[in-house]
Amino acid sequence: MRILRYALQRLVFVIPQLFGVALVAFLLLKLIPGDPAPMMLGPLATQEAVDKLRAEMGLDQPLPAQFIAYLDRLLHGDLGRSWQTTNPVLVDLAQRLPATLELVTLSLLVAVIVGLPLGLMAGRKPGGTASRLADGYTTTAGALPDFWLAMVLIFVFYSVFKVTPPPIGRLDFAVFPPPAITGSYVVDALLAGDMRVFRAAAGQLILPVATLGVIYTVPILIMTRATVERLNDSDFVRFANAKGLSPMRVSRHALRNALPAIVTVIGMLYGTLVGSVVLVEVVFAWGGAGQYAVSAVLNADINAALGFILMAAVVSLGVNMVVDLVALMLDPGSSS
């Protein structure tokens, strides 16, 4: 009941949060130089044709009127139409979001696999070998821009050693996507039993997942290490050591109590990555929602850009609420 009440309280604030995101995003995008009407009609269009199109799109109205009209469409489930693809924005995002989620999910999985045990070992023995290794890793990886690391990995592993496929998207040339089930090519290829597509999709994932995994291991490592170091002075750890429990069992107890903070960080990273993976998607020509958003901003495709921002906000809010609920259930004091 406590968890249910907490979930309902969080849901009450979703609509105001989305309204705030839509308002701020709308105003900021309107400040970006660029008029979609001349871009849509081309350089040879007359001023009369441009003015007519602007009137049809409502761009000749004051900003408050434009925002109210956008909210009205939004309440009816209409995100507008992208002038670049000529498709409804909702359709475009539904086609591209699975690619972004696949990349983000696998990258965070790698970050957890590396950051969690290293942070646990560094936190259990401050000043030890693992602690010094964690210091070096966080100092180095924490200073690397993701797009720069992506280009370095492409140069080393594709251009020099030729051990990874070219960064041309989610699949190699002449390889067709598997039947769409989940939207993840790796999962869908496995479900279809098509190992050729699976190997092609997995090969294209290596470098982008490595790029994001290396960088986003840092916050997970730091949070795990800091939480475990703080727990070293707690009563239950001192009691476990006094009982003569093995270091492995003590570390397991410490990790259990550190999980709420760690899960919260992982959830925040997931929501952040969905909206900030754009540069890595561009470098690898990934074709996900992030690359779609970059193209929308550069071409004054307001509906597409706003749709991406709202989609990222919805995913972030949903993930954060789920993570908060999980952290509440993992909290040892939640039952009291």
Look at residue 335 and tell me whether its pLDDT is greater than 50: no
> How distant, in Å, are the alpha carbons of 113, 138, 171, 299 from that of 85?
39, 41, 21, 12
CATH 1.10.3720.10 intervals, the chain:
92-145+208-330
What is the Cβ-side half-sphere exposure of residue 191, based on CA atoms within 13 angstroms? Answer: 12
pLDDT in tens, 262-297: 998 999 899 889 888 999 999 999 999 999 999 998
In this predicted model, what pLDDT tens digit does every residue of 241-271 receive, in sequence order?
A: 788 888 888 888 888 888 888 998 999 899 8
The structure tokens 């109210």 sit at 68
Closest CA to 181 of 170, 172, 189, 171: 189
Assign 3-class secondary structure to the chain: CHHHHHHHHHHHCHHHHHHHHHHHHHHHHHHCCCCHHHHHHCCCCCHHHHHHHHHHHCCCCCHHHHHHHHHHHHHCCCCCECCCCCCEHHHHHHHHHHHHHHHHHHHHHHHHHHHHHHHHHHHHCCCCHHHHHHHHHHHHHCCCCHHHHHHHHHHHHHHHCCCCCCCCCCCCCCCCCCCCCCCCHHHHHHHHCCHHHHHHHHHHHHHHHHHHHHHHHHHHHHHHHHHHHHHCCCHHHHHHHHCCCCHHHHHHHHHHHHHHHHHHHHHHHHHHHHHHCHHHHHHCCCCCHHHHHHHHHHCCCHHHHHHHHHHHHHHHHHHHHHHHHHHHHHCCCCCC
Tokens of 3: 């968890």
Only one residue has tokens 């992030």, namely: 290
Amino acid at site 178? P
Degrees to nearest 5, angle at CA 187 with 185 and 190: 105
pLDDT in tens, 311-333: 999 999 888 888 888 887 876 55
The answer to whether 22 touches 310, Cβ cutoff 8 Å, is: yes
Closest CA to 289 of 266, 313, 320: 313
One CATH from 3.30.420.10, 3.40.640.10, 1.10.3720.10, 2.30.30.60 for 92-145+208-330 = 1.10.3720.10
| Residue whose tokens read 């979703």 | 14
pLDDT at residue number 250: 86
126: Cα within 13 Å, side-chain hemisphere = 11
0.95 exceeded by pTM: no
CA 315/CA 93 separation, integer angstroms: 12
Q: CB–CB of 238/206 below 8 Å?
A: no
CB contact set of 84 (below 8 Å; sequence gap of 6+): 295, 296, 299, 301, 304
The CA-to-CA distance between both ends of the chain, in Å, stands at 13
Closest CA to 230 of 257, 249, 250, 248: 257
pLDDT, tens digit, 9 for 90 and up, residues 92-135: 999 999 999 999 999 999 999 999 999 999 999 998 999 999 99
**Number of C-beta neighbours around residue 246 at 10 A:** 9
Burial class (CB in 10 A: 0-12, 13-18, 19+), 276: middle
Mean pLDDT of all residues belonging to the chain: 90
* Tens digit of each residue's pLDDT (9 = 90 or more) over 167-182: 999 999 889 999 999 9
Please compute the mean of the pLDDT values over residues 195-207 and round it to a whole number.
96
